[in-house]
């Protein structure tokens, strides 16, 4: 990371790729995570590698949801852990959310490595190792969650989530916040709050909004949640990707 000059035109993209490679070497990111990164990188290029206004609105709505929640949980997979470990810890602190490791390719070694990695970045408690509950309508390995974590959560943030699990969580009547650079992928399509933005920009922005809203009363937070239009957010992102312009 130190070897990449900061004025390189694709600096962020190179840093991102490098972090995923380091994650694979450290045993926290699955090889599949590299392909996911490649797809994300292509969409980010088309978005102009910036947070578009509709994504910022989604990030503010996400902050309001997390602050209103009784049991907010932030889900962490191998790409999330490699890209934004301390940023996820900061978001958990700003919103009172729990962190839970939740892997598509689940092994005890990777679960442990990610939990350790998060603790090295300041996390106190990391959930996901108990795996004593199941999300209905998913195959056994893919459905494992903590009974007092994602299973009982009223609001979940699932960045870079697989489409099947995003759908199954949606059917559990949770408020689902998804971060995904592809607005046509199933996960943002089923989300209550689809955030079409790079996780590297999205998470710190949600945290900033949460800090700015720390003293807001419940009515104000509810108004932000109500005002957010998920269809409009998905359409604005798709339009930016297809035409390079945003009509907002
Ligand atoms: P499926 O249709 O099965 O969901 P997919 O192409 O969406 O396939 P997944 O592995 O499920 O693949 O999801 C990876 C998703 O994460 C992709 O939509 C990709 O664009 C997105 N993604 C990858 N890197 C980032 C990132 N840094 N920030 C935000 N989204 C990302
Ligand atoms: Mg997907």
Q: Is 36 in the pocket of ligand 1 (CB under 6 A)?
A: yes
- In the three-class reduction of DSSP (H, G, I as helix; E, B as strand; rest coil), residue 105 is classed as coil
Q: Is 198 in the pocket of ligand 1 (CB under 6 A)?
A: yes
Which pLDDT band holds residue 8 (cuts at 50, 70, 90)? confident
On the question of pLDDT at 247 being above 70, the answer is no
**Alpha-helical runs (H) found in 96-229:** 108-120, 140-143, 163-171, 186-190, 199-212, 218-227
Strands 175-179, 193-195: parallel, antiparallel or unpaired by DSSP? parallel
In contact, 54 and 236? CB cutoff 8 Å: yes
Tokens found for residue 113: 């490595």
Q: What is the pLDDT of residues 95-150, one digit of tens each?
A: 999 999 999 889 999 999 999 999 999 999 999 999 999 999 999 889 999 999 99
Query: Please, what is the average pLDDT of the chain?
Result: 95
Q: Residue 155: beta bridge partners?
A: 72, 175
Say which CATH class 53-242 falls into: alpha beta
Ligand nearest to the CA of 237: 1
Q: Is 160 in the pocket of ligand 1 (CB under 6 A)?
A: yes
Burial 19-50 (b: 16+ CB within 10 A, else e): bbeebbebebbbeebeebbeebbebbeebebe
Which pLDDT band holds residue 44 (cuts at 50, 70, 90)? very high
Distance CA 216, CA 200 (A): 26
Q: What is the pLDDT of residues 145-203, one digit of tens each?
A: 999 999 999 999 999 999 999 999 999 999 999 999 999 999 999 999 999 999 999 99
Known binding-site residue numbers for ATP: 17, 39, 180-182, 186-187, 198-199
Q: What is the pLDDT of residues 48-95, one digit of tens each?
A: 999 999 999 999 999 999 999 999 999 999 999 999 999 999 999 999
Q: Residue 134: beta bridge partners?
A: 144
Phi, psi of 40 (to 5 degrees): -60, -45
Question: What's the predicted TM-score (pTM) here?
Answer: 0.96
Please name the residue whose Cα sits nearest to atom 7 of ligand 1: 185
Q: Is 167 in the pocket of ligand 1 (CB under 6 A)?
A: no
Per domain, the residue ranges of the chain are: 53-242
Of 70, 40, 35, 28, nearest in space to 175 by CA: 70
* Host H or E run for residue 4: none
């Amino acid at each position: 990371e130190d070897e990449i000059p900061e004025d390189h035109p694709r600096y962020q993209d190179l840093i991102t790729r490098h972090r995923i490679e380091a994650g694979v070497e450290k045993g926290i990111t699955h090889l599949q995570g590299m392909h996911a990164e490649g797809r994300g990188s292509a969409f980010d290029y088309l978005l102009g590698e910036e947070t578009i206004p509709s994504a910022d609105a989604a990030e503010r709505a996400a902050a309001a949801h997390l602050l209103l929640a009784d049991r907010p949980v932030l889900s962490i997979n191998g790409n999330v852990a490699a890209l934004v470990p301390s940023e996820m810890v900061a978001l958990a602190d700003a919103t009172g959310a729990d962190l839970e490791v939740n892997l598509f390719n689940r092994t005890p070694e990777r679960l442990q490595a990610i939990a350790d990695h998060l603790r090295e970045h300041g996390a106190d408690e990391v959930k996901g190792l108990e795996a004593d509950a199941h999300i209905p309508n998913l195959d056994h390995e893919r459905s494992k969650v903590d009974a007092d974590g994602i299973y009982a959560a009223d609001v979940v943030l699932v960045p870079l989530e697989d489409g099947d699990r995003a759908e199954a969580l949606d059917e559990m009547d949770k408020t689902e916040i998804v971060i995904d650079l592809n607005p046509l992928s199933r996960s943002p399509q089923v989300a209550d709050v689809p955030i079409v933005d790079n996780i590297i920009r999205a998470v710190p922005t949600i945290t900033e909004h949460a800090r700015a809203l720390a003293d807001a009363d419940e009515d104000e937070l509810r108004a932000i949640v109500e005002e957010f239009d998920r269809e409009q957010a998905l359409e604005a992102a798709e339009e930016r990707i297809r035409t390079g312009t945003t009509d907002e």
